[in-house]
């Protein structure tokens, strides 16, 4: 209908306009010659043609709107399907990275590196949640593009800083538009100054066993955050097994 409605509408409109022109011409000549019977016939045909042209035009417009709406829905479904496939592939890449590791330390490092590569992150860190002398601590165990002096230990008590808060609450934290140098104060990512920081608890069921921290110079989308939450669970299960 989208293809045929327009030419039909144009043809009917032309017929209608020709009838209108003829009607005016006949009326102009009517004083001297009178109104012929064919005038009423042409006037009737013109009225019908005009009404038909309007109906066809409106029907064609409605069909076009429906077509566009269907196309938009189809494009949205295709986009969601593509994003789902990309996410699934990314999750599998992290799963494969940690599957063959031999100990928790390797699992943390391999999983973190795979996450950072998928997100093209600037830096990353993985903290293992441990209990020492009745204190819960988040201890830095793995880093991505992270430089630490030998023997330097980074750890946070439960509730201390953003890492400690994530260990207590078990909730994801996302900070955008971080001021220059702000990360050095609240994060374990050293001297870098990224604009976006994502902190995701790695949980086995409801227990927080680790913290994933990602620093990026570009925004981290909602889908990317969900991806990190999903793969953080994979790491948590691996290091707790």
Same domain, 129 and 175: yes
Same domain, 115 and 168: yes
- Comparison of pLDDT for 131 and 44, the residue scoring more: 131
- Comparison of pLDDT for 203 and 70, the residue scoring more: 203
Same domain, 84 and 116: no
Same domain, 112 and 30: no
Strand partners, 197: 175, 215
What would the pLDDT profile of 159-174 be if each residue is shown by its tens digit? 998 999 999 999 999 9
The count of structural domains within the chain is 2
Angle at 12 between CA 11 and CA 18, to 5 degrees: 90
The pTM is what? Answer: 0.64
Q: Which of 88, 113, 142 is the last residue of a domain?
A: 88
65-69, 94-98, 226-230: which has the minimum mean pLDDT? Answer: 65-69
Q: Which domain holds residue 126?
A: 103-240
Same domain, 61 and 158: no
- State the pLDDT at residue 241: 77
Same domain, 111 and 66: no
Q: Has residue 94 been placed in a domain?
A: no
Q: Has residue 134 been placed in a domain?
A: yes
Helix (H, G, I), strand (E, B) or coil at 47: helix
- Alpha-carbon distance of 185 to 175, in angstroms, equals 14
Confidence of residue 12 (pLDDT cuts 50, 70, 90): low
């Amino acid at each position: 209908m989208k293809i045929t409605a327009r030419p039909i509408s144009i043809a009917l409109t032309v017929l209608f306009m020709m009838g209108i022109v003829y009607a005016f011409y006949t009326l102009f000549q009517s004083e001297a010659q009178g109104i012929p019977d064919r005038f009423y016939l042409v006037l009737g045909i013109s009225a019908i043609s005009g009404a038909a042209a309007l109906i066809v035009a409106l029907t064609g417009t409605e069909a076009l709107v429906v077509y566009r709406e269907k196309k938009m829905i189809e494009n949205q479904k295709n986009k969601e399907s593509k994003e789902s496939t990309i996410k699934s592939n990314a999750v599998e890449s992290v799963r494969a990275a940690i599957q063959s590791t031999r100990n928790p330390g390797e699992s943390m490092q391999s999983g973190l590196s795979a996450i950072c590569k998928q997100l093209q992150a600037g830096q990353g860190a993985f903290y293992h949640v441990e209990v020492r002398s009745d204190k819960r601590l988040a201890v830095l165990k793995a880093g991505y593009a992270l430089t630490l002096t030998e023997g330097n230990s980074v750890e946070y008590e439960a509730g201390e800083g953003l890492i400690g808060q994530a260990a207590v609450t078990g909730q994801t934290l996302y900070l955008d538009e971080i001021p220059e140098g702000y990360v050095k104060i609240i994060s374990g990512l050293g001297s870098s100054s990224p604009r976006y920081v994502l902190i995701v608890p790695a949980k086995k069921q409801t227990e927080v066993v680790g913290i994933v921290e990602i620093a990026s110079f570009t925004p981290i989308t909602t889908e990317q955050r969900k991806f990190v939450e999903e793969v953080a669970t994979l790491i948590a299960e691996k290091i707790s097994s």
